[in-house]
Structure 1
Amino acid sequence: MSDTVTSETVIEVSGLGKQFVKDAVGIVALRDFDLTIAQGSFVTVLGRSGCGKSTMLNLLAGLTTPTSGTVSYRGRPVAGPRTEVGYLTQSDTLMPWRSVHKNVELPLEIAGVPAQRRTEHAAELIGKVGLEGFERHYPRELSGGMRRRVSLARMLAGDPETLLMDEPFGALDAQLRGELQAELLRLWADGGQTVVFVTHDIEEALLLGDRVVVLGPVGRIVLDRPIDLPRPRDADELRIDPEFVALHRELTAALREGAR
Structure 2
Amino acid sequence: MLAADAVTKRFAKGDSAIVALRELSLDIAEGSFVTVVGRSGCGKSTLLNMLAGLTPPSAGEIRYRDHRLSGPDTQIGYLTQHDTLMPWRDVLRNVEMPLEIRGVASAERRSVATELVQRVGLGGFEKHYPRELSGGMRRRAGLARMLAGSPETLLMDEPFGALDAQLRTELQLELLRLWQGSGQTVVFVTHDIEEALLLGDRVVVLGRVGRILLDREIALARPRSADELRVDPEFVALHGELSTALKRESPAGEERS
TM bin, normalised by shorter chain, reads: over 0.9
Distance 1:16 1:259 in 2: 22
Is the contact made by 1:71 and 1:77 (CA closer than 8 Å) also made in structure 2? yes
Partner of 2:29: 38
Q: Could you tell me how far 1:165 is from its partner in structure 2?
A: 0.3
Query: In the TM superposition, what whole-angstrom CA distance separates every residue of 1:40-77 from its partner, at most 9, and x where no partner exists?
Result: 00000000000000000000000011100011000100
Equivalent position amino acid for 2:206 in 1: L
1:114 aligns to 2:105 (yes or no): yes
Partner of 1:136: 127
Partner of 1:126: 117
Equivalent position amino acid for 1:45 in 2: V
Q: Could you tell me how far 1:22 is from its partner in structure 2?
A: 1.4
Residues 1-260 of structure 1: pairs in structure 2 closer than 5 A: 10-259=1-250
Distance 2:14 2:165 in 1: 39
Distance 2:140 2:183 in 1: 19
**Greater than 3 Å deviation, 4+ residue runs:** none
Is the contact made by 1:222 and 1:257 (CA closer than 8 Å) also made in structure 2? no
Query: In the TM superposition, what whole-angstrom CA distance separates every residue of 1:110-161 from its partner, at most 9, and x where no partner exists?
Result: 0000000000000010011000000000000000000000000000000001
Q: Could you tell me how far 1:108 is from its partner in structure 2?
A: 0.3
Distance 2:224 2:18 in 1: 40
Q: Could you tell me how far 1:259 is from its partner in structure 2?
A: 2.5
Is the contact made by 1:84 and 1:160 (CA closer than 8 Å) also made in structure 2? yes
Name stretches of at least 5 consecutive residues in structure 2 with no aligned partner.
252-257
Partner of 1:3: none
| Equivalent residue pairs, number | 251
3-state SS, counterpart of residue 154 of structure 2: strand
3-state SS, counterpart of residue 69 of structure 1: strand
**TM-score (norm. length: structure 2):** 0.97
3-state SS, counterpart of residue 148 of structure 1: helix
3-state SS, counterpart of residue 258 of structure 1: coil
Distance 1:199 1:87 in 2: 14
Partner of 1:4: none
Q: CA RMSD in A?
A: 0.7
Partner of 2:255: none
Q: Could you tell me how far 1:194 is from its partner in structure 2?
A: 0.2
Name stretches of at least 5 consecutive residues in structure 1 with no aligned partner.
1-9
Equivalent position amino acid for 1:17 in 2: T
Query: In the TM superposition, what whole-angstrom CA distance separates every residue of 1:9-62 from its partner, at most 9, and x where no partner exists?
Result: x01211100000112221000001000000000000000000000000000000
Equivalent position amino acid for 2:96 in 1: E
> Identity of paired residues, percent?
69
Q: Could you tell me how far 1:211 is from its partner in structure 2?
A: 0.2
**TM-score (norm. length: structure 1):** 0.96
Query: In the TM superposition, what whole-angstrom CA distance separates every residue of 1:155-214 from its partner, at most 9, and x where no partner exists?
Result: 000000100000000000001100000000001003121000000000000000000000
